[in-house]
Amino acid sequence: MGSGPVVDGAAPTVIVDDLHVVYRVYGAGGDKGTAATALMRVLKRQRRPSVREVHAIRGISFVVSHGDAVGIIGRNGSGKSTLLQAIAGLLPPEQGCVYTSGQAALLGVNAALLDDLTGERNVVLGCLAMGMTPQETKERYQSIVDFSGVGNFIDYPMRTYSTGMAQRLRFSIASAKNHEILMIDEALATGDANFRAKSHERIVQLRAEAGTVFLVAHNLAEIEASCNRVIWLEKGKIMMQGEDVPAIVDAYLEATGGEPRKRDKPTQNEHNASA
Amino acid sequence: MRERARDQGGPGTLTDDLAIPEVDPSAPAGEPLAELAARYRLRPSAARPGVFAYARQLWERRHFIVGFATARNVAMYTEARLGQLWQVLTPLLNAAVYYLIFGIILGTNRGVPNFLGFLITGIFIFNFTQRAFITTSRVMPDSLPLIRALPFPRACLPVGYVLIELEQLAMAMVVLTAIVLASGEPLTWYWLLAIPALAVQGVFNVGMGLFLARLGAGADDFSQLLPFLVRTWMYASGVMFSIQTIGSLRNHPALTYLLQINPAAVYIGLVRNAILQSQRLAWPGSKPYDAANCALYHAGKKAYLEYSAYCHGTVPMSGLWLWGIGWAVVALLVGFVFFWEAETRYGRG
């Protein structure tokens, strides 16, 4: 840490400037939920208590450059997914700004398209939604299906898929396009060992094609293997960030009460200068 | 082990003993980030494109809109045993129920020629607008996972939903054609006028759908209220009675005019006059003015109702087309700009 982003090296692709994100949650607890209590609230001109504002990101700044793979770690509820959604432009900032060099693609756990439809339809619609032409979609279709390895299930509705199969298909769809910025939010967590190896290769390939990759994972080995930078979030703020990935991971583990990671050999990541 | 357990509390159970640095020590210093972003020509990720650029982006996603609408249409009946047959059964049952209530039980025909064809045309055409309004008012909250997962112009969603209703309408029009022909109407060249009429109505629905989608994206109260507003609108739009020939309106020309130029009444009138010869011939103003025959109509005897064609029409046919196109253009422009203004806020929920 402390090494800071290299401003004058590679060109920055993502700049996050004092970002705050607030989102509203409806139907949080609060009143008894009867018509009478609702009427009293209207008469007393009270705000609906079941609308809660969650200040999920509270002032974050960082710069990410071409070819960076940034791991984001932190406990459940620390704002990792919200940060990615804000970078993708899906959640508007309350204050501050996120600047990007192009459209960021976010691959999340719940990036479901249409569960009632077959995998085939989902592949086609996903490609069209990402802005491909019908011709490109037709060309890429077979390679997407092959990569996902769902086999004959491609003709079944997606709601019949196992969690791992659905995630494999979603990852295959989203990574079919060369994104300048690809963000992966725990989307590889339930894949099997074979698929993890394939998707790791795909991430390395995307990085090599001048892309920027963000990776949220609770599997810290995956972060250490794939990322050259890491950001540790805590309660919507940055606890630590930098390029010394193992040191930050160890500090995170110590603070959250986890066992320290055992490393027999230096990390495999060639981008990791401090290994 | 005790510390391990602390970490498994799930979202929101954060312990307080971690000191979060007030000022991030590793934050980039020196050049303000906004200037750095400007130097490398980075753009805000949540920026809204200009209104023309937005329209172009929407056009580029036309294949997605069509695919989305078709896919949703297919998925709508996958759980039903009769499957796609419901696309035909739903309008048929609708027609049967309304004919039972208004045609037989209440007897609201009041001398309207071919009341069956008149009523069912009115119901199917109004149903297109009604369903488009109600589904688009719920499209943004219903599609929140999709909105938060993929970047695309959000207007794809309400436009796609109107397209779903258009595809449903196409099936209903097949049923309608069969009913109208069976009721004794001849097949004429005038039927072709139904196509531009439905196209103009479709444009109106898209515009209003965009408008309602933004209204429905905020609090849920609006989409709860909307069905009642739409039903009231139906009773004022001459679906089950004829505005131009209803007896109690004869002495209120201004009110009759207002009822007749409301968009639903305009689109229903255009389609009725296209496919129902009995309506086209009885439309006030469709025959040269004849004081004597018109007086017979005003005498109010049931037998003379078709003489309304000899009176001055409230809105002539050409006027009906102008109003129809006017409403569609205004709805599309206002709805599109209104929806575009909030483009970056739909993901917030």
Domain boundaries, chain B: 50-343
Instruction: Report how many domains make up chain A.
Output: 1
Residue A11 DSSP label: P
Residue A108: inside a domain: no
- Residues contacting A155, CB < 8 A, separation 6+: A118, A119, A120
Share of chain A above pLDDT 70, in %: 81
Res. A4 pLDDT band, cuts 50 70 90: very low
pLDDT at B263: 93
Chain B residues with CB under 8 Å of A124 CB are 67
Helix, strand, coil percent content, chain A, rounded in steps of 5: 35, 25, 40
Question: B45, B63, B348: best mutation site toward chain A, by most A Cβ within 10 Å?
Answer: B45
Chain B contact for A78, CB < 8 A?
A: yes
Sign of CA dihedral B309, B315, B316, B321: negative
Cα distances (angstroms) measured from residue A128 to each of B54, B62, B139: 17, 9, 19
Residue A222: inside a domain: yes
Cβ distance B241 to B106 under 8 Å? Answer: no
- Residues contacting A59, CB < 8 A, separation 6+: A18, A19, A20, A96, A236, A237
> Which B-chain residues 17-36 have CB contacts (< 8 A) with chain A?
18, 20-21, 24-31, 33-34, 36
Residue A148: inside a domain: no
The parent domain of residue A92 ranges over 12-44+51-103+179-256
Residue A98: inside a domain: yes
Q: Is A239 within 8 Å of B21 when comparing Cβ atoms?
A: yes
Query: What CATH number does residue A222 fall under?
Result: 3.40.50.300
Average pLDDT over residues A164-170: 83
pLDDT at A32: 63
Read off the pLDDT of residues A74-117 as tens digits, 9 standing for 90 and up: 888 888 888 888 888 878 888 888 888 877 777 765 555 677 78
Read off the pLDDT of residues A170-217 as tens digits, 9 standing for 90 and up: 888 877 877 788 888 876 666 677 887 887 787 777 777 767 888 888
Chain A contact for B64, CB < 8 A?
A: yes
Residue A153 Ramachandran class (φ > 0 left, ψ -120 to 50 alpha, else beta): alpha
Read off the pLDDT of residues A213-271 as tens digits, 9 standing for 90 and up: 888 887 888 888 888 899 998 888 888 888 888 888 888 888 877 777 776 654 444 44
Residue A75: inside a domain: yes
- Name residue, tokens 């009138």: B269
CA distance, residue B4 to nearest chain A CA (Å):
5
Given a cut of 50, whether residue A5 has pLDDT beyond it is no
Task: List per-residue pLDDT tens for chain B, 349 residues long.
Answer: 344 433 443 344 444 556 666 555 555 556 677 778 878 778 887 778 889 999 999 998 999 999 888 888 877 777 777 777 787 788 888 888 888 887 777 766 666 778 888 888 998 999 999 999 999 999 888 888 778 777 788 999 999 999 999 988 988 898 889 988 988 888 888 899 999 999 999 999 999 999 999 998 877 788 888 989 998 998 888 887 777 766 666 677 788 888 888 999 999 999 998 998 888 877 777 777 777 777 777 666 655 666 777 777 777 778 889 999 999 999 999 999 999 998 888 876 5
pLDDT at B329: 97
- Name residue, tokens 């020196």: B30
Helix, strand, coil percent content, chain B, rounded in steps of 5: 70, 0, 30
Residue B104 DSSP label: I
pTM (two decimals): 0.80
CA distance, residue A110 to nearest chain B CA (Å):
7
Element (H, E) at B60: helix B51-60
